[in-house]
Structure 1
């Protein structure tokens, strides 16, 4: 159990974890159930930073929070977003071409634009949430990582040997419990929590349908894109509320 949590922390963040955790294949698969908790950890760290910056200007605080967000996660999901954007546009509806472009480590114009738009939307939303954006900072990464658990739990993985291949064997019961706990975690926040949950579920459903239509399943890159889109949807939705 502890190794699985360490694997999840080590993969989803740049926080240091003992190297021995990665030697257990079962821990890699079981780590999926811990993704929402790691998302909550990311949100907690960002919330602490937001509290430290509570007297700073809204723009400066938002900029530092976005920078810290990228640093904590190592831009892992941003990479997947950029690759997915390039592949979706350049693939022209063809499955094999989409997968081939997604595998190319170089970023094209669509990927760059997607990155700029996502970071700009996060910055704008955080600057509009005021000096105490703690609810949004907690729920956005939590629901984002929960959406990854839901994706691997319900969607075929089509990239053999990819980073997410080990997650296909994740224990279903543990993942379902983690998803239910994630949904329950939104309830204490009332309307804001319900809105965040609905937005996350909507983005998940739409993106999963798009992946099934184009690819017949998901890849690590499409999972990363989903994580970023859920975060943006929750942040923007709560900022507009």
Structure 2
């Protein structure tokens, strides 16, 4: 059992990042069983924490060695690292979902077919550009605040990808999977509600201990975003797919960053 969870943890990094875990962990070269593949979902928030830790290294280093780099440039570099470390996986899901939603004309089967289309339409391009632009602007505000703030502000930035991946864990555990086979089937079969509660209570307890009102705002943002995205998926395609799950991660990250940026503006 422990070996299965160890393999699932390594597999979660293989699923969600470009981190070369296969060079460090030999088990990464082993073909996972369906049970192991499904259990990888339980470790998505841990992957998010590692991604978040990587993101803050650059601005913290600039701040520590007193290198004069504007928050805008730092935000651009952090965003490039963010896209690279995830391999653009969730952006691809967002692009496919945007094309399918706008081109599906409310029809379930047409929407699902368009998600499988490898071509990228104008709707996808516009959504990707706007998403990356808003992320860059919000990151600029957050990094500027972090340069003169306490450690908690950097912890919040680390939690952005954690909250997004917790949200998708919640989505998989409590929403039907649309397609009849594939990785999503195993993720759905192995999803355990008790792990969702564990991560939810742990995150809320940690965040509220640090800063009550801002943390409450972020948790509320994630909850409302999850509710409306899940509702939209159920209305259009009666559940989730890999593309819509990836899109939900990108949207959640953007929403949390925007709330943090607005908190900066309000002082």
Shared fold (TM-score, shorter chain, > 0.5): yes
Q: Distance in 2 between matches of 1:6 and 1:197?
A: 27
CA deviation after TM superposition for structure 1 residue 138, in Å? 1.1
CA deviation after TM superposition for structure 1 residue 28, in Å? 1.1
2:157 to 137, 159, 169: 137
Structure having the higher Rg = 2
- Asked if 1:193 corresponds to 2:197, the answer is no
- Asked if 1:9 corresponds to 2:29, the answer is no
Q: Distance in 2 between matches of 1:229 and 1:50?
A: 23
Q: What's the secondary structure of 1:158's corresponding residue?
A: coil
TM-score by length of 2: 0.86
Judge conservation of contact 1:157–1:218 (CA < 8 Å) in 2.
yes
Match of 1:176 in 2: 197
Match of 2:105 in 1: 92
Match of 1:105 in 2: 118
Q: Distance in 2 between matches of 1:199 and 1:100?
A: 31
Q: Distance in 2 between matches of 1:162 and 1:58?
A: 42
Cα 1:168/1:79, change in 2 over 3 Å: same
Q: What's the secondary structure of 1:161's corresponding residue?
A: coil
Cα 1:127/1:98, change in 2 over 3 Å: same
CA deviation after TM superposition for structure 1 residue 23, in Å? 2.0
Q: Distance in 2 between matches of 1:21 and 1:134?
A: 36
- Asked if 1:202 corresponds to 2:233, the answer is no
CA deviation after TM superposition for structure 1 residue 96, in Å? 0.4
Judge conservation of contact 2:38–2:183 (CA < 8 Å) in 1.
no
CA deviation after TM superposition for structure 1 residue 194, in Å? 1.7
Match of 2:46 in 1: 37
Q: Distance in 1 between matches of 2:252 and 2:56?
A: 18
- Asked if 1:59 corresponds to 2:108, the answer is no
Structure 1 stretches (4+) deviating beyond 4 angstroms? none
CA deviation after TM superposition for structure 1 residue 131, in Å? 5.4
RMSD: 1.5
Q: What's the secondary structure of 2:21's corresponding residue?
A: coil
Judge conservation of contact 1:135–1:189 (CA < 8 Å) in 2.
no
